[in-house]
């Protein structure tokens, strides 16, 4: 089981400072974390005009473009992997994402894992001139387009939303593929994982029976489709904002007993089963990830 950490860029003291981002990434790699992840939002709403917006991301939350950030960190790190958790694929052009992901994968030496999802914020889709209402079905074709472009120098593709006439991207990713992981919890998301994905981000589940049942469900779906469940990675989130070492170790043991391949430590989120740490400075986040690693590293 691999342990990764989400970059707490949403706290502006870290996300707004390239030196702090570099130092966090290098420290996480030195500590032993095997993956650095970031979420994705392009537009944030002005809550002054939306008093009923609720506890969701807004324009006050800092989000770097994942491809730009990973390109920067590729030159600052040696072996740590990078993952989008998750890129909102359907609000982007598939061919452009294929190109951007391939470029990052070349620059970091094949360390990219592309997590994708359908998103929830219609404001972003409207601003990016993409259809919010067909985003799930369209994203399936987008993944097929990207996988074809990564595999071959020239592609001919005719789908419902995409047409490529004997053309290709350059550079191609070193592995001629980039692992595609799907985020989400609906049955249709699990089907996409089984049919075309390399892994699944069931990020809303905390440890417990519901999570174990969902993981078992995914494996049964894979077997029914003739796919070995062991070929599907599972990455779920853990928190340093609740409890202390003993509880963190118990959580790590639970996820390992479920057979997940990755866990990702999140220090900045307070949603669902996660709780943000008390401090918001780069030093606070670094202290938390060191403490968490020391608590669970021997269980991985």
Sketch the domain layout of the chain as residue ranges.
Answer: 2-299
Cα radius of gyration rounded to whole Å, the chain: 19
What is the fold, at CATH topology level, of the domain defined by 2-299? TIM Barrel (3.20.20)
Summarize pLDDT for 192-246 with one digit per residue, the tens: 999 999 999 998 899 999 999 999 999 999 999 999 999 999 999 999 999 999 9
Please check whether residue 253 is in contact with residue 299, taking contact to mean a CB–CB distance below 8 angstroms.
yes
Beta bridge partners of 84: 38
Percentage of the chain beyond pLDDT 70 is 100
pLDDT value, residue 13: 87
Residues 115/120/124/130 CA torsion (nearest 10 deg): 80
Averaged pLDDT for residues 173-200 = 97
Beta bridge partners of 4: 35, 264
Q: Please give the model's pTM, rounded to 2 decimal places.
A: 0.96
* Beta carbons within 10 angstroms of residue 196's beta carbon: 13
Work out the pLDDT band at 279, boundaries 50, 70, 90: very high
- H helices within the chain, ranges in order? 12-15, 18-31, 66-74, 94-107, 122-127, 135-151, 187-196, 209-224, 245-257, 282-296
Helix, strand, or coil here: 37?
A: strand
In angstroms, the CA 44 to CA 50 distance is 12
In angstroms, the CA 196 to CA 186 distance is 16
Percentage of the chain beyond pLDDT 90 is 97
Please check whether residue 215 is in contact with residue 209, taking contact to mean a CB–CB distance below 8 angstroms.
no
Please check whether residue 110 is in contact with residue 173, taking contact to mean a CB–CB distance below 8 angstroms.
yes
Of the candidates 83, 80, 75, which has an alpha carbon nearest to the alpha carbon of residue 39? 83
Summarize pLDDT for 135-157 with one digit per residue, the tens: 999 999 999 999 999 999 999 99
Beta bridge partners of 83: 37, 113
Task: Map 197-242 to HEC letters.
Answer: CCEEECCCCCCCHHHHHHHHHHHHHHHHCCCCHHHCEEEEEEECCC
Averaged pLDDT for residues 103-129 = 98
pLDDT value, residue 270: 83
Please check whether residue 79 is in contact with residue 57, taking contact to mean a CB–CB distance below 8 angstroms.
no
């Amino acid at each position: 089981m691999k342990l990764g950490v989400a970059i707490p860029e949403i706290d502006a003291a870290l996300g707004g400072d390239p030196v702090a981002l570099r130092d966090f990434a290098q420290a996480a790699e030195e500590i032993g974390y095997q993956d650095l992840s970031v979420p994705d939002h392009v537009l944030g709403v002005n809550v002054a005009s939306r008093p009923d917006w609720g506890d969701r991301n807004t324009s006050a939350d800092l989000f770097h473009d994942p491809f730009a950030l990973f390109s920067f960190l590729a030159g600052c790190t040696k072996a740590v992997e990078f993952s989008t958790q998750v890129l909102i694929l359907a609000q982007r052009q598939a061919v452009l994402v294929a190109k951007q992901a391939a470029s990052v994968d070349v620059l970091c030496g094949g360390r990219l894992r592309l997590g994708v999802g359908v998103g929830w914020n219609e404001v972003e889709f409207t601003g990016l001139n993409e259809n919010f209402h067909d985003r799930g079905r369209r994203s399936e074709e987008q993944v097929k387009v990207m996988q074809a472009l990564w595999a071959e120098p020239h592609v001919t593709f005719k789908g419902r939303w995409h047409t490529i006439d004997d053309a290709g991207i350059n550079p191609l990713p070193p592995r001629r593929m980039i692992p595609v992981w799907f985020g989400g919890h609906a049955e249709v998301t699990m089907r996409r994982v089984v049919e075309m994905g390399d892994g699944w981000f069931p990020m809303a589940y905390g440890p417990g029976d519901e999570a174990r049942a969902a993981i078992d469900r995914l494996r049964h779906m894979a077997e029914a489709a003739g796919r070995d469940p062991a070929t599907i990675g599972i990455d779920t989130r853990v928190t340093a904002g609740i409890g202390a070492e003993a509880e963190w170790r118990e959580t790590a043991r639970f996820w390992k007993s479920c057979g997940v391949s990755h866990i990702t430590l999140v220090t900045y989120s307070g949603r669902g089963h996660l709780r943000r740490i008390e401090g918001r400075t780069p030093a606070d986040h670094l202290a938390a990830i060191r403490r968490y690693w020391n608590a669970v590293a021997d269980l991985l």
